[in-house]
């Protein structure tokens, strides 16, 4: 039986966009997890295959007949410095498949061995980061945040050498595409206008076909990528997600979150929060993410200038207007998110103040971001209010804020039970808390035990449901449990 009908659209781009090659084989692969429901959505008839075949496919030991495996080329700004050649140093794109709605999805093995883009790397991934990516990308999806998905995880039976000797693994990731800002930068840096145009046309056809109805499709592409990223980063900010490595090669054209390296969810609210061990200056701190998003989009706009107009001044003016619109678009997405988090329906002039005052009070009170919003849903009743206030280390400005919020709720005259229900559908009870993620990884790496991984995956796949039996997964880390640094593991 052929394994899926791969479409292999990327292979139709010019030959300098990729290097065709199969994954390197591994010694004794074991299937850790297969995402059946995602496979169904993608109409992959793989669920019927024997586990042995799945293990071979997801370890790279067997390439599906119709696949056209390749490593793709891209460049990127890493921590502000331009690197003209990065590319898939440890990932192999098998090809793309179509879901039930006719949308295309890439299927890619990450950790599949060395490629011409590996530089000094070994082309492999360690088990810990693979499980982290699996869990957090699925959590993001369940939270309603555009994200690449996890289709499978396998252990390879081979060891990888980082600071420690670690078990190796491969994650199979599914993405609306793997086009990144860095893909455009690769061809712009080489002044290869011909390939750049073909990549842009491909991006338009795949993600933003409406652009073709406008006078200037490349400007429309820029417009829509800016919009998708403004919306995405607003969603991150609304759940306290910190990506950790917002390099331009880790920012998609589709508007999906990609590359879950040292990412983490913030606990006590503080915009300066940084987890990533490699982010020494806090470039990618929680509160900087919108600004960095705009900076990255500016790099994207630069690559498109020659396509937008032959007249450079005109191209720059048009692109600059687009880039300048990022802040107001982001603010509007973010504020809409905050309104629903606060259980407000109407749009009022002082909503922005109300949102910011709440965050200030949470920061002063050192309140856990997730619990704070989850408990706010109960704060219309006296008892619930007490529980909400108990989260604050000191009461400070929160009492005043609550008065304002309650009077606003009364003015909107909404049914408190319905308001609470609505708030609970946007304010998660469960996020993948960092200290629990670390425990889950330690269980797997040191003891080859995956029950905590399975538990956490089940819990964060229903983030808005109260799951009283798992309430300890909803609790913030105690001081001695706190994880301050997260690692890429690359
Ligand atoms: P990342 O930090 O995962 O976004 O990766 C940045 C670049 O480094 C990409 O070009 C990756 O393909 C490459 N890279 C990361 N880890 C490895 C590895 N173990 N072997 C080869 N290349 C890698
Ligand atoms: Mg990357």
Report the alpha-carbon distance of residue 334 to residue 332 in Å, rounded. Answer: 5
Q: Which of 131, 138, 121 is nearest to 155 (CA)?
A: 131
**Residue whose C-alpha is closest to residue 368's, from 423, 430, 283:** 430
Q: Which structure tokens are listed for 207? A: 């993600």
How many separate helices (H) and strands (E) can be counted in the chain? 16, 12
pLDDT digits (tens, 9 = 90+) for 332-380: 999 999 999 999 999 999 999 999 999 999 999 999 999 999 999 999 9
* Kind and range of the H or E run holding 2: none
Mean of the pLDDT values across residues 261-275? 95
Q: Which residue has the tokens 């490349």?
A: 218
- Reduced to 3 states, what is the DSSP secondary structure of residue 174? strand
135-146 pLDDT, tens digit each: 999 999 999 999
Structure tokens at 26: 């591994």
Q: Are the beta carbons of 309 and 315 closer than 8 angstroms?
A: yes
Q: What is the pLDDT of residues 161-206, one digit of tens each?
A: 999 999 999 999 999 999 999 999 999 999 999 999 999 999 999 9
Ligand nearest to the CA of 166: 1
Across the chain, mean pLDDT equals 96
DSSP states of 179-199:
-BHHHHHHHHHTT-HHHHHHH
- Say how many Å lie between the CA of residue 89 and the centre of ligand 1: 5
CB of 97 within 6 A of ligand 1: the answer is: no
* Cα–Cα–Cα angle for 66, 131, 286, rounded to 5 degrees: 110
* Ligand 2 geometric centre to CA of 29 (Å): 24
Handedness of CA 345, 346, 347, 353 (dihedral sign): negative
Coil vs helix vs strand at 259: coil
As given in the structure block, the two tokens for residue 391 are 């989260």
106 noted as active-site residue? no
- Residue 304 near residue 203 (C-beta atoms within 8 A): no
Residue 64 backbone phi and psi in degrees, to 5: -55, 140
Residue-by-residue DSSP string for 93-131 = EEEEEE-TTS-EEEEEEES----TT-TTS-S-EEHHHHH
C-alpha distances (whole Å) from 164 to each of 27, 160, 246 are 20, 8, 26
Q: How many residues does the chain have?
A: 490
Burial of 413: CB neighbours in 10 Å, binned 0-12, 13-18, 19+? exposed
C-alpha span between 430 and 233 (Å, rounded): 20
Report phi then psi at 78, rounded to 5. Answer: -105, 120
Q: How much is the pLDDT for 5?
A: 85
123 lines ligand 1 (CB under 6 A): yes
Decide if pLDDT at 424 tops 70. yes
The structure tokens listed for 87 are 């590319």
pLDDT at 2: 54
Q: Which ligand is nearest to the CA of 73?
A: 1
Ligand 1 pocket residue status of 84, Cβ below 6 Å: no
Q: 119 alpha carbon to ligand 1 midpoint, in Å?
A: 9
Locate 298 and state its tokens: 């500016």
pLDDT of residue 289: 98
Contact between 412 and 346 under an 8 Å Cβ cutoff? The reply is yes
Task: Give per-residue pLDDT as tens, 159-170.
Answer: 999 999 999 999
pLDDT recorded at residue 46: 76
**From 88, 96, 227, 249, the catalytic residue:** 249
Assess whether the C-beta atom of 88 lies below 6 angstroms from ligand 1. Answer: yes
Q: Is 2 exposed, middle or buried (0-12, 13-18, 19+ CB in 10 A)?
A: exposed
């Amino acid at each position: 039986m052929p394994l899926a009908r791969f479409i292999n659209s990327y292979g139709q781009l010019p030959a300098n966009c990729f290097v065709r090659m199969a994954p390197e084989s591994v010694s004794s692969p074991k299937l850790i997890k297969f995402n059946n429901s995602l496979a169904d959505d993608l109409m992959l008839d793989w669920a019927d295959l024997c586990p042995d075949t799945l293990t071979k496919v997801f370890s790279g030991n067997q390439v599906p007949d119709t696949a056209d495996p390749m490593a793709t080329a891209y460049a990127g700004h890493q921590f502000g410095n331009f690197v003209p050649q990065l590319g898939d140093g440890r990932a192999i794109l098998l090809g793309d498949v179509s879901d039930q709605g006719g949308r295309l999805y890439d299927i890619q093995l990450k950790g599949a061995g060395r490629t011409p883009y590996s530089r000094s790397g070994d082309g492999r991934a360690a088990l810990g980061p693979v499980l982290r990516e699996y869990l957090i990308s699925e959590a993001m999806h369940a939270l309603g945040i555009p994200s690449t998905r996890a289709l499978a995880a396998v252990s390879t039976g081979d060891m990888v050498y980082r600071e420690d000797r670690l078990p190796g693994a491969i994650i199979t990731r599914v993405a609306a595409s793997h086009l990144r800002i860095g893909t455009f930068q690769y061809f712009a840096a080489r002044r290869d206008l011909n390939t750049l145009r073909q990549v842009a046309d491909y991006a338009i056809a795949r993600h933003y076909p409406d652009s073709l109805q406008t006078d200037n499709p490349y400007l429309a592409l820029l417009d829509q990528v800016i919009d998708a990223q403004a919306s995405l980063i607003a969603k991150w900010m609304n759940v306290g997600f910190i990506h950790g490595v917002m390099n331009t090669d880790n920012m998609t054209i589709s508007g999906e979150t990609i590359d879950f390296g040292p990412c983490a969810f913030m606990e006590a609210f503080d915009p300066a929060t940084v987890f990533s061990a490699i982010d020494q200056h806090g470039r990618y701190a929680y509160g900087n993410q919108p600004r960095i998003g705009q900076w990255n989009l500016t790099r994207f706009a630069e690559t498109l200038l020659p396509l937008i107009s032959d007249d450079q001044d005109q191209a720059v003016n048009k692109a600059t207007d687009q880039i300048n619109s990022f802040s107001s678009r982001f603010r509007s997405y973010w504020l809409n998110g905050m309104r629903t988090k606060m259980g407000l329906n109407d749009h009022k002039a002082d909503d922005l103040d109300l949102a910011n005052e709440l965050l200030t009070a949470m920061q002063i009170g050192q309140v856990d971001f997730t619990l704070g919003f989850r408990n706010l849903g109960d704060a219309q009743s006296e008892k619930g209010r007490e529980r909400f206030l108990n989260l604050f280390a000191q009461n400070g400005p929160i009492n005043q804020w609550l008065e304002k919020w309650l009077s606003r709720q009364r003015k909107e005259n909404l049914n408190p039970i319905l308001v609470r229900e609505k708030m609970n559908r946007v304010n998660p009870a469960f996020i993948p808390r960092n200290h629990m993620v670390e425990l889950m990884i330690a269980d797997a790496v040191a003891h080859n035990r995956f029950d905590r991984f399975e538990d956490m995956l089940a819990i964060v796949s229903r983030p808005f449901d109260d799951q009283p039996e798992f309430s300890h997964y909803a609790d913030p880390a105690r001081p001695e449990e706190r994880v301050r640094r997260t690692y890429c593991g690359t």
